[in-house]
Amino acid sequence: MKTILWLREDLRLYDNLALNQAAADGEVIPVFFYPEHLGGASYWWLHHSLSRLAEQFAEHGVTLILRTGDPARVVLKLCEEIGSTKVVFNRVYSSRGMAQGQAVKQALQGADIECQSFNSQLLFEPGKIFNKQGTPFKVFTPFWKHCCAQLQPPAPQAFTTLKPVGDQPDSEQLSDWGLLPTRPNWAQGLADTWQPGEAGAQQRWQEFLNDRIQGYKEGRDFPEREQTSLLSPHLTFGEISPRQLWHDTQEAMASGLVDASNGNKFLAEIGWREFSRYLLVHFPQIETEAFNQKFADFPWKNSAKLLKAWQKGETGYPIVDAGMRELWHTGYMHNRVRMIVASFLTKHCLVHWQSGMDWFWDTLVDADVANNTASWQWVAGCGADAAPYFRIFNPILQGEKHDKLGVYVRRWVPELKKMPNKTIHQPWTADEETLAEAGVKLGKDYPRPIVDHADARAEALAAYQAIKSSS
């Protein structure tokens, strides 16, 4: 049998359920369609991930087919070209992904072509998880407790062999897709930081599991430490299976190689990834609307000037600026700092969370519809299980607590590298002598704060209180 394997967010060979089924059926024809909705950093990653995947398939004598167009129409045409009577794919849990999957199934059904879909992206099937009242969970903790108590993810599976099709169908060239930036090439920092592809994902995972996971529970909150897994972009593009992460961690805890506090904390973070997709399945409107409808009338100021200063890392608050510059250079930002910069934009600047979400979508290599939507709404206070409206991160205290010695700030805001620890997170409070010794002239070498923390906090609280009172 000739089986078409429609690849989407599953760019790997190991523990790829749709691939395993295609391999078991007979000849495998993997196909990937040009996605028209990614951001710039994600396109850079996709180019390299597809290049690596094509090499992996080639080692088995299989050609990765690239096509442009509507998947429902082109898959059906491809079936006619090669005489295939079956298509398999892994489900994508977003509005766009689910709609595309349904459209392909309907098109193939009308042509009497068999179609199978699989859950190879998540530990648990979102459509089968409900609370005792039979309704979807809206709070993470009971959701995750239910999943862990009631369900057990299947063990990861490997294919045995891949059999190529005799006559290879035509393929577009990856270089013709123009996924890489050219003028200018802003991606050198990404190239210096990341190794896209399944091999890079497995290397990151082994480094983390064998070393950095110890101390993860506490260390993950300190951006100057390399304590996190750095797996998020690999998970976004499906270069590594969450089932492998789950079972490898469970085995490491059972053998005593990883203590339970760190292992379970890491698995809980994988749980947040599950919860974000779960919310999209049951509440798809949150991709464009606030989960809490009270926020439909929130008095956002939406200052273009404040938004631009935030995007450029020129807010005058060092921990915020460090995060935004790390993002631009590497396509990534430490999770603690993501919360700080998101809180600053939405609560200090009163800029709509969608503006921040759009910027992250274009600049993050791990840009993900579910995580991006859920996380921005969580910080803004309008999402499911959201941070309370009155929780407004103080960027000064956050910097002093999570970057006590200013290591992270000095790395990404080098103009402040000579500032003493006492004032590294609030340079505007330093006296003239201290600033002169550090070679810093406020307003020239480094900006003054674009908003006053106390005033901005008071204004934000008043705005949040106003919508609370009107409900």
Which residues are identified as catalytic? 269, 272, 300, 335, 353, 376
HEC-encoded secondary structure of the chain? CEEEEEECCCCCCCCCHHHHHHHHHCEEEEEEECCCCCCHHHHHHHHHHHHHHHHHHHHCCCCCEEECCCHHHHHHHHHHHHCCCEEEEECCCCHHHHHHHHHHHHHHHHCCCEEEEECCCCCCCHHHCCCCCCCCCCCHHHHHHHHHHHCCCCCCCCCCCCEECCCCCCCCCHHHHCCCCCCCCCCHHHHHHCCCCHHHHHHHHHHHHHHHCCCHHHHCCCCCCCCCCCCHHHHHCCCCCHHHHHHHHHHHHHCCCCCHHHHHHHHHHHHHHHHHHHHHHHCHHHHCCCCCHHHHHCCCCCCHHHHHHHHHCCCCCHHHHHHHHHHHHHCCCCHHHHHHHHHHHHHHCCCCHHHHHHHHHHHCCCCCHHHHHHHHHHHHCCCCCCCCCCCCCCHHHHHHHHCCCCHHHHHHCHHHCCCCCCCCCCHHHCCHHHHHHHCCCECCCECCCCCCHHHHHHHHHHHHHHHHHHC
Indicate the SS3 state at residue 186: coil
Indicate the SS3 state at residue 164: strand
Burial 435-448 (b: 16+ CB within 10 A, else e): beebebeeeeebbe
Work out the number of other CB atoms within 10 angstroms of the CB of residue 383.
Answer: 24
**Amino acid type, 300:** W
Is residue 65 within a helix (H) or strand (E), and if so which, with residue range? strand 65-67
**Of 314, 288, 325, 303, nearest in space to 408 by CA:** 325
Helix H segments across 135-283? 140-150, 188-193, 198-207, 216-219, 232-236, 242-254, 260-282
- Distance, in Å, from the CA atom of 2 to the CA atom of 68, rounded to the nearest integer, reads 21
